[in-house]
Amino acid sequence: MLPDTPIGPSSTPATSNRDLSPADRAIAQFDRTLRTLFGVHEAQRPSPAGDLPDSVHSPTERRHVAGLMRVNHAGEIAAQALYQGQALTANHTATRDSMVSAAQDETDHLAWCEQRLKELDSRRSLLDPVWYAGSFAIGALAGIAGDKASLGFVAETERQVVKHLESHLRQLPNGDARTRAIVEQLRADEARHGHAAETAGGTSLPAPIRKLMALTSRIMTRTAYWI
């Protein structure tokens, strides 16, 4: 969930917040929150599904695929919140700006997931504000812990997201080329982002924190599938 340029104190920020007052940053963050939760997201890249035919027709398969894509969409909402929370409490301006840029890069994923949900006549998770609020708080705490710990948190998050996406690829109907193409691109992007966080100096997290992250992820994914 990171841009291709590694994040770190020495990175050149894509977007600058250094001249904003705390009140201005709060207003800007409120605007980002509203856009993330309620805005219409437009992808900068074309959907990986392209012109692939939609072969998911049975009601049972459509409900299952929609549930998986609702989980993925909720995960992208959480990713936006994590980055925005980390940006709010980052120690260095360059790191803060890079986190904001990373959150903006995730709009492609949100747009692709939303498009697929519409094709399946389904909806987003009704609990998106909950996923956002919880993830924002976690991201803010990670940022307070320092830039290296924050980057380590990103790297670990991406490792768990890749595993989660791989499980979805195993669950998709064999003929569902449209959803598979999207999920495979998500997996490739997240793996690259996790590597970028490690390269930028992210430190390994303690085992109890990694286990807590995995537990939290399981709760969110199992709930978002239905709600």
More confident residue, 145 or 45: 45
> pLDDT for 143-152, tens place per residue?
888 878 888 8
Reported as a pLDDT band with limits 50, 70 and 90, residue 90 is confident
Cα torsion 125, 129, 133, 136: sign: positive
Q: Give pLDDT, residue 105.
A: 64
* % the chain with pLDDT above 70: 83
Q: Average pLDDT over the chain, rounded to whole? A: 82
Take residue 9 and report the two structure tokens written for it: 């104190």
pLDDT of residue 27 exceeding 80, the answer is no
More confident residue, 84 or 74: 74
More confident residue, 118 or 158: 118
Q: Are 110 and 78 in contact (CB under 8 A)?
A: no
Domain spans in the chain, listed from the N-terminal domain onward: 64-224
- Give, in words, the CATH class of 64-224: mainly alpha
- Indicate the length of the chain as a whole number: 227
> Which of 73, 215, 213 has the alpha carbon at shortest distance from 152?
213
- Burial class of residue 145 in the structure, from the number of CB atoms within 10 Å of its CB (0-12 exposed, 13-18 middle, 19+ buried): middle
Q: Give pLDDT, residue 103.
A: 64
Q: Give pLDDT, residue 13.
A: 38
pLDDT of residue 19 exceeding 70, the answer is no
